[in-house]
Every structure is written in structure tokens, then in C-alpha cells.
Homo-oligomer: A and B are copies of this chain.
Amino acid sequence: MGKNVHMQTFSSCTVSLTKKDFFDTLTPAQKKLMDDNTVDIKYNKGEIICKHGTFAPYIIFLKKGLAKVYLEGANDNLILKLAAPGSLIGLSSLSDDNTTYHYTVSTYLDTEASLINIDVFRRIIRENGEFASSVICVFCNNTLQTYGRFFSFTHKQLYGRLADILICLSDRIFYKEEFSLNLTRKELGELTGMTTESVIRMLKKFRQDDLIEMDGKKLKIKNYELLLKISDYG
């Protein structure tokens, strides 16, 4: 009976699950208002969508592709999360007193995004309680995810963190156990908080232990269960 709530449930997975019905709470008038104040933009792989510290004129809704949300350090970045289609980016700029972007976002793949005027977004939050609740829901999910990631980073070691990410990529981004890895080892390192060299070594270990199979950019998870156990164990 009941679900066992335990630290083991924390994962450093970085992707919130998609909310398809996010804009369904809008009235037709609000929908129109938003549409009139939104532009759709296509980005090539590797382009920057928004830059930490710049003024935030939009909330960004990711329609297609894949992006990383990160903090820039002196030498290395800290990836806060991967943004898959359905993600809202820039919500933390909704605060009235802090209207800049609080992270940099750039694309991994060719990406399409809707840029929604932030003042209109704010106005609709004030007008429409259901919509406001949805936004709060997104914040809740982001918060939980960040906490889980935080726990992983402080309590798991490299094996566990890398296992986390592989599971995350499989479960939440590519939706299958075999996928083409578009991330470099360096980027995997940024996602897991380890050096490139360590990523390489850990991946090798995983391959030797028959947990995964790699061929060029193709990666296949061979022993999902054990990988999950490694993620849990730390």
C-alpha cells in the first residue's frame, strides 16, 4: 500500500514532461491577444535564443527541437535543464523587479519557438486565474525537478549521474532505447557536472559492463533495469 517516498526517487533528469493543454485555459479573446503578440522564430542548431542578463521581452515556448538552458561560468557552463518541445522558457523573468533573463538558452538541434510578449503574458495571468494556475503548475514542476537534480549532484557520484542522464534522454527526449546522441562528451559533462574525460571513462565502463552499446553517434541502452539501479544507488 502507498508509494514509498524516498531520496532514491530523485534523479538529475533535466526535462519536465510536456504540458500539451497549457494554453487551453485561455478565452478566445485572450488567445487572440496572445497570438497577436507572439512571433514564431526558427533557430539553427547551435544558435543562442536568449542571453543571460539581457532584458526579457518574451516568454519562450519551444515548439520543436531541443535547447539547453544554462549558466555561463568562467570556463564551463552549468546546464540547468534541457528544454524539449512543450517547454516554457523565461518564466523566472515574470517577476516585476527582475525583468532580465536569468540564464542563457541555446539550441542543440534546429528549433522552432514562439516568442510571447512578456507583458501580455503577465496581463493574461492577472486576468485569467486558470491560466495563472497553469503557470504556477509549471513552476512547481520545475522546482521539483531542480530539487531532484540538486540532490543528485550533491549525493550521487559520477556513475549515478551519468546513468540518470542516459535514462532521461531515453525516456523523455527520444522516447526509445536507441537514439542518436547529439550531445558531445563535453555537453554530457555539463549536464552531469563532470569533466569530459570522466564522461568518456564512465561511458567506457558502461559499455564494458554491457549496459549500453555505442556505434558512432548511435547509443542503445541494453540493460535499462541495471542502469536504473545504478542511478538509484548513486
> Chain A: residues with CB nearer than 8 A to chain B?
5, 7, 10, 52-53, 71-74, 76, 78, 80, 91-96, 98, 100, 102-103, 122, 125-130, 132-133, 135-137, 139-144, 146-147, 149-151, 153-155, 193
Interface of A, secondary structure class, is helix
Q: In the complex where A7-B72, A136-B136, A140-B95 touch, is A80 in contact with B150 (Cβ < 8 A)? A: yes
B73 and A103: CB pair below 8 A? no
Q: In the complex where A78-B154, A150-B78, A150-B80 touch, is A92 in contact with B140 (Cβ < 8 A)? A: yes
- In angstroms, how far is the closest chain B Cβ from the Cβ of A22? 13
Copies in the complex: 2
A129 and B139: CB pair below 8 A? no
- In angstroms, how far is the closest chain B Cβ from the Cβ of A2? 9
Inside 8 A of A137's CB, which chain B residues have their CB? 94-96
A133 and B136: CB pair below 8 A? no
Inside 8 A of A153's CB, which chain B residues have their CB? 150, 153-154
The 8 Å CB contact of A92, one of B126, B144, B151, is B144
Docked Cα-Cα span, A18 to B93, in Å, equals 19
Inside 8 A of A94's CB, which chain B residues have their CB? 133, 136-137, 140
